């Protein structure tokens, strides 16, 4: 197939999944064209894979650069030049609308829209975007969601048929465990430090868990709440135990050998970083929200706590940090679940099968 993939190029989960998918499809012999405003952070080279950057011309009249329209024109150009069969947009806003405009410009590709989370749960609730998202979903040959929870939310909020669930996946060779060497127990958290990730709660929960225990918290990523998280660590007197590592390309190096992975998100449609941790044999402590229970099995591969209960997160984390037998059992089960359910090969094959179905739908409408 000749496939277009549209995504954000950032370290965020949707960009990571889309980049890995593009590379995996190229490895399987498809011709893949990735469109974004710059080359994604985590994209490996492959001869079958080409990146098309979208440029927005600066013009004094345009207070807000019209990226959505520039993307639409770029999709149409790439479709024409490379005769794309199908375009898969990752993150519904604004990529879906751009793809539909490209189609209105005369291109005849099948459209697959992959919903990742906040495109449905946050921007989806914004009346400024909702009609556009509904338009995208109704005019896609296939709509996918990364978890059962997100699929149900998409149906509920937009009154569309239930999307196909295509869970995120992980490269099991790259994200693999190493034997834990005796040393300071380490807790890891990775995110874009947006309010929805509640990074201050991560710091607070760690402080509760690590009281009187030698342990360290490694925070990966950056974003608007990073300064507040730093201030929270100082306020709690644990700055010496917390390291802010910023964006890391080889996040697996930070995850390997950690004792636990900690999330405090208000909402999480899937939790790709939790899956990456599990694949590295790191048990997860997280709130029971969104699609997280589909990834983290409570009592088996980690511990789930009531949403917004920082005290419970702290207690659960302390249990893992102080009970080595429990930690080891969960570490093994976490890797096992990642291998059984969320491997890259099976994840990419699921997309391939869905693309073939979407093409058949498109042909039947032609």
| Residues contributing to the site for ligand GMT (CB under 6 A) | 12-15, 17, 116-118, 146, 168, 196, 267-272
- Residue bearing tokens 């636990």: 260
Shortest reach from residue 137's CB to ligand GMT, in Å: 17
Shortest reach from residue 335's CB to ligand GMT, in Å: 19
Shortest reach from residue 271's CB to ligand GMT, in Å: 5
- Neighbour-count burial for 54-84, b at 16+ CB within 10 Å, e otherwise: bebeeeeeeeeeeebebbbebbbebbeebeb
Shortest reach from residue 105's CB to ligand GMT, in Å: 27
Q: Of the two residues 116 and 256, which places its CB atom closer to ligand GMT in the complex?
A: 116
Q: Of the two residues 199 and 271, which places its CB atom closer to ligand GMT in the complex?
A: 271
344-365 and 13-27 are packed helices; what angle lies between their axes, rounded to 10 degrees? Answer: 80
Q: Of the two residues 33 and 116, which places its CB atom closer to ligand GMT in the complex?
A: 116
Per DSSP bridges, beta strands 302-305 and 49-53 are unpaired
Q: Is the dihedral of CA 239, 242, 245, 246 positive or negative?
A: negative
Shortest reach from residue 155's CB to ligand GMT, in Å: 16
Q: Of the two residues 141 and 268, which places its CB atom closer to ligand GMT in the complex?
A: 268
DSSP helix/strand/coil, 197:
helix
| CA-atom Rg of the chain in angstroms | 21
Q: Of the two residues 158 and 207, which places its CB atom closer to ligand GMT in the complex?
A: 158
- Residue bearing tokens 């570490």: 331
Shortest reach from residue 199's CB to ligand GMT, in Å: 13
Instruction: Assess contact for 152 and 125: CB atoms under 8 A.
Output: no
Q: Of the two residues 186 and 198, which places its CB atom closer to ligand GMT in the complex?
A: 198
Q: Of the two residues 258 and 272, which places its CB atom closer to ligand GMT in the complex?
A: 272
Q: Of the two residues 76 and 132, which places its CB atom closer to ligand GMT in the complex?
A: 132
Q: Is the dihedral of CA 77, 356, 91, 172 positive or negative?
A: negative
Shortest reach from residue 192's CB to ligand GMT, in Å: 6
How far is the C-alpha of 23 from the C-alpha of 312, rounded, in Å? 40
How far is the C-alpha of 70 from the C-alpha of 37, rounded, in Å? 10
Shortest reach from residue 83's CB to ligand GMT, in Å: 29
Instruction: Assess contact for 241 and 212: CB atoms under 8 A.
Output: no
Q: Which residues contact 93 (CB under 8 A, 6 or more apart)?
A: 119, 123, 129, 132, 133
In which order are the strands placed within the sheet that holds 31-36? 49-53, 31-36, 2-6, 86-90, 110-115, 142-145, 164-165
Shortest reach from residue 93's CB to ligand GMT, in Å: 11
Residue 248 burial class via C-beta count within 10 angstroms: exposed 0-12, middle 13-18, buried 19 and up: middle
Q: Which residues contact 312 (CB under 8 A, 6 or more apart)?
A: 305, 306
Shortest reach from residue 18's CB to ligand GMT, in Å: 9
Q: Of the two residues 12 and 40, which places its CB atom closer to ligand GMT in the complex?
A: 12
Q: Of the two residues 140 and 168, which places its CB atom closer to ligand GMT in the complex?
A: 168
**Helix, strand, coil percentages for the chain (3-state, nearest 5):** 45, 15, 40
């Amino acid at each position: 197939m000749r496939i277009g993939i549209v995504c954000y190029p950032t370290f965020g989960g949707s960009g990571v999944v889309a980049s890995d998918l593009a590379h995996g499809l190229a490895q399987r012999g498809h011709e893949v064209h990735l469109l974004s405003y710059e080359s994604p952070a985590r994209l490996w080279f492959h001869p079958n894979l080409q990146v098309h950057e979208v440029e927005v011309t600066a013009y004094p009249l345009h207070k807000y650069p019209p990226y959505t329209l520039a993307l639409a024109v770029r999709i149409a150009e790439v479709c024409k030049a490379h005769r794309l069969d199908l375009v898969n947009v990752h993150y519904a806003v604004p990529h879906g609308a751009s793809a539909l405009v490209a189609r209105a410009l005369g291109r005849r590709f099948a459209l697959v829209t992959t919903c990742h989370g906040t495109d449905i749960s946050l921007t989806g609730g914004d009346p400024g975007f909702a009609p556009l998202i509904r338009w995208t979903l109704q005019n896609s040959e296939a709509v996918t969601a990364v978890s059962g929870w997100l699929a149900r939310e998409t149906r509920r909020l937009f009154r569309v048929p239930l999307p196909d669930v295509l869970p995120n996946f992980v490269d099991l060779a790259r994200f693999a465990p190493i034997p834990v060497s005796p040393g300071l127990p380490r807790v890891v958290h990775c995110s874009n430090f947006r309010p929805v990730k509640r990074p201050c709660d991560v710091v607070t929960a760690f402080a509760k868990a690590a009281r009187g225990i030698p342990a360290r918290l490694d925070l990966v990523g950056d974003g608007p709440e990073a300064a507040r998280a730093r201030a929270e660590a100082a306020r709690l007197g644990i700055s010496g135990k917390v390291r802010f590592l910023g964006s890391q390309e080889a996040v697996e190096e930070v995850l390997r050998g950690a004792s636990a992975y900690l999330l405090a998100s208000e909402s999480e449609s899937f939790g790709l970083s939790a899956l990456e941790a599990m694949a590295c044999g790191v048990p997860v402590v997280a709130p029971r929200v969104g699609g997280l229970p589909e990834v983290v099995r409570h009592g088996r591969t980690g511990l789930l706590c009531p949403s917004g209960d920082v005290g419970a997160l702290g207690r659960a984390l302390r249990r893992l940090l102080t009970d080595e037998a429990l930690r080891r059992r969960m570490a093994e089960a976490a890797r096992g679940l990642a291998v059984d359910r969320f491997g890259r090969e099976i994840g990419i094959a699921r997309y391939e099968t869905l693309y073939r179905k979407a093409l058949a739908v498109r042909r039947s409408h032609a």
